[in-house]
Amino acid sequence: MNFRSSICLLAATLPIALAPLTVFAQDAAWPTKPVKIIVPFAAGGSSDALGRLVANGLGDIFKQTFIIENKGGAGGVLGSQMVSKSAPDGYTLVVSGVASHVIAPLENPKVFDPIKDFTHIAILGGPPIALAVNASVSATDVKSFISMAKATPKGISWGSPGQGTHGYLIGEAFEVLTKTPMQHISYKGAAPAVADLVAGHIPASFTTLSTAATQVKSGKVRLLAASSSKRLPAFPDVPTFTELGYPSLTGVTWFSLSGPPGMPPELVARLNTAVRKVMSSPQAQEQLNKTSMETFDFDVPRFNQFIASEMKQWAPMVKQVKTD
């Protein structure tokens, strides 16, 4: 090979050889502009609160603006689909979770593949689901609620944060397990469902406890049961569904941070470390404890394993609810 051929070969192969270094350099420089975090539910709910908490924390760490945009609808599917089709450069992320990325695709596999169509970055945590009623409702416990529902023509109406959400699944499963006639009303998030509950437009709701907590403390809403594994310190008089004989209704409505498929692993690792730092901070823990939210400290592989285990856990219940 002569000198001229060597130079030509070098010129042809150099861009390819330097490509990984260029990507690495871009990852190291990220973020050089504002980052958008899509919350696929209405403002005011648990996903929104967690999204804003982590956005503020990441903004402090990376010295860049993290913007929250609420894109509610279809149990978190619409906003999530938008992010799954975005560029994998780290500038468009989504608050994912058990509703949008486990239950919804189990109900309808056509919406997206929750594993292949996303890059899962870090878990944020979340609250249990609570069976809550308007304070004017006569039922004071689950037993009397079931009796009241069975005595109501066509069944009692109840609201959820949306079709396919964790609250929806727990509510539908409760109806099946207790053979209680109920009429489901779907909302675009927990906040509007709780607002209608307080206003008396619906008598009951299966919703995230964190969203209802303030109204419970003000006396406008009464809790009958929670999906937590044990009684909560903030609500020691509220029994768990397990105590009442319904262990399959136990679970946390967890939320997480995800991005489009194909995000660079180095960037994902940086984000995971930063999110865990935000969520474990004393300020975040104080805020989360006030609303009975549980947090998890998972690295990227452990978080992805967790998602797979959640799909396996909830698949039988989704099938049961769809069948019945």
How confident is the model over 79-131, as pLDDT tens digits?
Answer: 999 999 999 999 999 999 998 999 999 999 999 999 999 999 999 999 999 99
Is residue 110 assigned to a domain? yes
Is residue 1 assigned to a domain? no
Is residue 277 assigned to a domain? yes
| CA 125 – CA 169 distance, rounded (Å) | 19
Question: Against a cut of 0.75, is the pTM above it?
Answer: yes
Alpha helices in the chain (DSSP H): 3-29, 46-62, 77-84, 98, 104-107, 142-151, 166-178, 190-199, 209-217, 265-279, 282-290, 300-323
| CA 169 – CA 75 distance, rounded (Å) | 11
| CA 277 – CA 151 distance, rounded (Å) | 51
Round to the nearest angstrom and report the end-to-end CA distance of the chain: 74
225-234 per-position pLDDT tens digit: 999 989 998 8
| CA 73 – CA 188 distance, rounded (Å) | 6
Q: Are 295 and 255 in contact (CB under 8 A)?
A: no
**Total number of domains constituting the chain:** 2
Q: Are 182 and 155 in contact (CB under 8 A)?
A: yes
* 83/110 same-domain check: yes
pLDDT band at 223 (very low <50, low <70, confident <90, very high): very high
Is residue 182 assigned to a domain? yes
User: Which domain-ending residue is among 227, 249, 271?
Assistant: 249
| CA 117 – CA 119 distance, rounded (Å) | 7
Q: Specify which residues 160 forms β-bridges with.
A: 186
* 185/222 same-domain check: yes
Contacts of 18 (CB under 8 A, 6+ apart): none
Identify how many contiguous H helices and E strands the chain contains and give both numbers: 12, 10
Residue 150 has pLDDT above 50, yes or no: yes
Which of 55-64, 72-81, 305-314: highest mean pLDDT?
55-64
27-59 per-position pLDDT tens digit: 678 999 999 999 998 888 889 999 999 999 999
Contacts of 222 (CB under 8 A, 6+ apart): 132, 133, 134, 135, 137, 140, 216
Other Cβ atoms within 10 Å of 70 Cβ, number: 19
CATH of the domain at 149: 3.40.190.10
Q: What is the CA radius of gyration of the chain?
A: 22
3 state SS of 259: strand
* 48/138 same-domain check: no
* 173/236 same-domain check: yes
Mean predicted confidence (pLDDT) in 180-193: 92
For helices 46-62 and 265-279, what crossing angle results, to 10°? 110
The pLDDT value given to residue 42: 85
Is residue 306 assigned to a domain? yes
> What value does the mean pLDDT of the chain take?
90
* 201/265 same-domain check: no
The pLDDT value given to residue 11: 52
Tokens of 155: 């069944």
* 233/276 same-domain check: no
> How buried is residue 188: exposed, middle or buried, by Cβ count under 10 Å (0-12/13-18/19+)?
buried
* 225/277 same-domain check: no
Contacts of 262 (CB under 8 A, 6+ apart): 88, 119
315 lies in which domain range? 33-126+254-323
More confident residue, 210 or 257: 257
Place of tokens 């919350």: 39
| CA 46 – CA 315 distance, rounded (Å) | 23
DSSP 142-189: HHHHHHHHHHSTT-EEEEESSTTSHHHHHHHHHHHHHT--EEEEE-SS
13: number of CA atoms within 13 Å, CB side?
6
* 226/284 same-domain check: no
3 state SS of 205: strand
